[in-house]
A and B are shown apart, each in its own frame.
Chain A
C-alpha cells in the first residue's frame, strides 16, 4: 500500500529525526512510503486562530498533494486530527470540494494508530533500556482515540518499562498559539504536567506530538531538569533516540 508521510511543519523544522523514524517504521511495516515534496503546513494555526480562509487554502493544497496515496500518516495526533476530524467541517461551505476532502480525511491516521490498526506492524525495531511514562496528547486522545496503540507498541520493546504518571490524559498547556498569547498561563499548566512526569520517576516522557514535546521539554529544562528525556514515540519505536546520531 502507498502511504503518504505527512511530515508536519514542526517535525520538518524542529526535529527532523522524528520524520525519519516514522519513515523507518512505515517501511518496516511493509508500506511503500512517499513524501510529497511540496508539503508545508496542514493549516491548523489559521484554523485555530479564526482565519478560516487561510486554513482552507492550505487544506486544499494538502488534499491535492496526497491525492494519489492510499493512506496519509502523520507522526502527530494534532495534525492527523486536523485532517481527519476538522477538514470535512472546514469545507462545509464548499460542497464542490467536500467529497475529495472527506475521502482523504477518512484515510488519514496518526502514526501509532496506523501501525497497529492498518499496517499491523509485526516487529518493533526499537531498543530502549529504562523507564518511560507516556503523555496522551489531547488531539490524538480525544479526536482520534489514540491511547492503547502507542502503549501496546512500546510494551513490545525489550528493556523498556512503562510507568503511568498521574493525569496522563490532562492537557500540557500547549494549545498552539495559546502558548504564546497566554504564556504564563500556559507555563503554569505545563508545570503541573512536569510535576506528574517527575513524580513518576521515569527516565523519559514519551509522547506523540511536537507541540506538547516542545512545551514539556521547554518547561522541564527551565525548571532545571536536564535529565528527564523528552522523546517522540516514533523515535523510541524506531530505535532512534541517540542524540549523537542526528
Chain B
C-alpha cells in the first residue's frame, strides 16, 4: 500500500477535487445542522460511548447471548476467524442452497472479505443494489467512502457509465439516472436466490440484525430471496434494543445529518408460519478478522466505531485526497487505525502518519474515539519496531539530543537562524532549502529575524 504516490495522483485530479469539495460542503453542513437541533447531543455522545464500551467489555458473553437468541428464532450463526473463512462460509451457504444469483445491499465487511470475488469464482452472479455500490460494480472500482461509496465520481462520469454499460441513451438528470438503475435492478430482486446484507448492529437480547439504509434496496435484499445472509464484524453487538435506539440517534445525524434514515430494518429470525414475507433461511456470519486482537490492545477504542463516516467527512486529509488514496476498505481517520490493525502495521506505514492530528475527527466522532491519540500510538509502535526511515529517526534523535543540552542548543540555533536569515535575502523569504524540499516544494519559508529570542533577551537584561 503506497499512500504517498496515490495521494499525489489524487491531488492532480480536478474532477475528484471538485467532487470532494461538493461532498464536504454537503456532509459537514448537514451534520452541523442536525446536531444543532438536538439540545443534548454531547450527552448523547457520552451515552453512546458508554453503551459501546459496555458491549466491548462483555463481548464474549453478548455474542453467546446473541447466538442463543438468533438460533432460537431459526437463524444460524457462523463464526469466521478471518476474511477468507467468511468468504468460504458464504460460498458454502450458496452451494448448499443451490444459489445462482445474489443481490447485495451495502456491506463494508463483505468488501473486507472479498465476498463478491469468491462467489463469482464459483459461478454465482452477484448484483450490488445500493445505487452507489451498483455504479461501482459497473465501473469495477472499490468504494471510496463507507457510506457514500461513489462520492469520488461526478454525475457526468456516471452518465457516461450508464450509457455505455446499459446501452441506453445518455441521461444527465439525477432522477432519470436513478429510474434507469431501478429498472435494471428490479428484475434482479425478484429472481435472486440469496440476499446478502451487512448489519449496523446486532442485538444480543433478541438475536436481531439491523441495517440502516436510505434507498429501500436493503429491505428487498433481506426479505425477497429465500436465503438471507447477514455479514458483519463481531464488535457490532449491543446488549439491548433500547441501546440501539440511542445509537441510532447519534449514528444517522453524524453520518448524513438525518434525524433518522429512510429505513431502519430489523431482521429477527426466519419467516414464521403465518408471515407473508421474509427469508426461509437466515445465516449470520460474524467476522473476527483481527478484531479480537484489537480488543486487548491499546487501540481497542477503535472498536467502538459505528461506521458513520463523520471522521472522514471532517478530515482535512480525506477531504483533499479522497478514500482511494488510503488503499484498503476503510479510509479516513478510522481507516488509519483499523487498516494497520487488520492488515499489519508494516503494510500501512503511511496511514497513521498522514494526519495533521487536528482532532476534527475526534470532536465529531459520535462514540468519542480519540482518533489522533490512536494514530500517535501507532506512530510509537512504528518507532519501537524500527519501521521508520533512518533519516527521520536520526533527525529526531539529533533534535532531542541537542534540545537536552541548552548550551549546545543555543549555539546551534544561533548559527541556524543567522544562516537562514542570510539566505532569506531582502525578500525575507526562502524559496528553497536543502533537505526541506517537502516544505519548500509548495511553500516559501519566512526567513527568521537572525537573532534568537534567547540572545535578544539576554542583551536586554544586560542593558537594564
Asked if A189 and B320 make an inter-chain contact with CB atoms under 8 angstroms apart, the answer reads: yes
User: In whole angstroms, how far apart are the Cα atoms of A230 and B429 in the complex?
Assistant: 13
Residues 51-70 of chain A, each 1 if its beta carbon lies under 8 Å from chain B, else 0? 11011011001000000000
B175 within 8 A of A: no
Nearest CB of chain A from residue B255's CB, rounded to whole Å: 20
Residues of A within 8 A of B402 (CB): 40
Asked if A49 and B358 make an inter-chain contact with CB atoms under 8 angstroms apart, the answer reads: no
User: In whole angstroms, how far apart are the Cα atoms of A40 and B413 in the complex?
Assistant: 10
Residues 170-200 of chain A, each 1 if its beta carbon lies under 8 Å from chain B, else 0? 1101111111111111111110100000000
- A218 and B439 in contact (CB under 8 A), knowing A48-B357, A178-B353? yes
Residues 378-419 of chain B, each 1 if its beta carbon lies under 8 Å from chain A, else 0? 111111100010001100110110111010010001001100
- CB closest residue in chain B, given A58: B403
Residues of A within 8 A of B382 (CB): 50
B454 within 8 A of A: yes
Residues 435-454 of chain B, each 1 if its beta carbon lies under 8 Å from chain A, else 0? 01111011111101101111
| Inter-chain CB contacts under 8 Å: number | 200
Residues of A within 8 A of B381 (CB): 50
Residues 203-246 of chain A, each 1 if its beta carbon lies under 8 Å from chain B, else 0? 00000000001110111011000000010000000000000001
| Neighbour of A185 across the interface among B321, B378, B431, B451, CB < 8 A | B321
Asked if A20 and B7 make an inter-chain contact with CB atoms under 8 angstroms apart, the answer reads: no
- CB closest residue in chain A, given B363: A142
Kindly state the interface size class of chain A when it binds its partner. 35 or more
- Residues of chain B having any CB pair with chain A under 8 Å: 4, 7-8, 11, 316-317, 320-321, 353-360, 362-363, 373, 376, 378-384, 388, 392-393, 396-397, 399-400, 402-404, 406, 409, 413, 416-417, 429, 431, 436-439, 441-446, 448-449, 451-454, 456-458
- CB closest residue in chain B, given A23: B457
- Residues of chain A having any CB pair with chain B under 8 Å: 7, 9, 11-17, 19-20, 35, 37-41, 43, 45-52, 54-55, 57-58, 61, 89, 138-139, 142-143, 169-171, 173-190, 192, 213-215, 217-219, 221-222, 230, 246
Nearest CB of chain B from residue A43's CB, rounded to whole Å: 8
| Neighbour of A40 across the interface among B316, B320, B406, B443, CB < 8 A | B406
Nearest CB of chain A from residue B19's CB, rounded to whole Å: 15
Interface of B is mostly: helix
- CB closest residue in chain B, given A138: B358
Asked if B451 and A186 make an inter-chain contact with CB atoms under 8 angstroms apart, the answer reads: no
Asked if B449 and A16 make an inter-chain contact with CB atoms under 8 angstroms apart, the answer reads: yes
- CB closest residue in chain B, given A41: B403
- A183 and B438 in contact (CB under 8 A), knowing A12-B454, A218-B443, A218-B444? yes
Asked if B437 and A52 make an inter-chain contact with CB atoms under 8 angstroms apart, the answer reads: no
Additional 12 contacts, C-beta under 8 A, given A50-B379, A183-B437, A218-B443: A15-B448, A50-B378, A50-B380, A50-B382, A51-B380, A55-B400, A178-B354, A180-B436, A183-B439, A186-B442, A188-B442, A221-B429
Residues of B within 8 A of A143 (CB): 359
| Neighbour of A182 across the interface among B7, B443, B456, CB < 8 A | B7
Residues of B within 8 A of A51 (CB): 380, 383, 393, 396-397, 400
| Neighbour of B453 across the interface among A20, A50, A170, A219, CB < 8 A | A20
- CB closest residue in chain B, given A230: B446
- CB closest residue in chain B, given A8: B453
Nearest CB of chain A from residue B36's CB, rounded to whole Å: 15
User: In whole angstroms, how far apart are the Cα atoms of A118 and B65 in the complex?
Assistant: 54
Residues of A within 8 A of B431 (CB): 222
User: In whole angstroms, how far apart are the Cα atoms of A215 and B358 in the complex?
Assistant: 14
Asked if A45 and B396 make an inter-chain contact with CB atoms under 8 angstroms apart, the answer reads: yes
- CB closest residue in chain B, given A179: B439
A-B contact pairs, 29 of them (CB 8 A): A12-B452, A13-B413, A13-B448, A19-B453, A37-B454, A40-B406, A50-B378, A50-B383, A51-B383, A51-B393, A57-B400, A138-B360, A142-B359, A171-B316, A173-B356, A175-B355, A175-B358, A177-B392, A178-B355, A179-B439, A181-B438, A183-B438, A184-B8, A185-B11, A187-B443, A217-B444, A218-B445, A221-B443, A222-B444
User: In whole angstroms, how far apart are the Cα atoms of A188 and B16 in the complex?
Assistant: 14
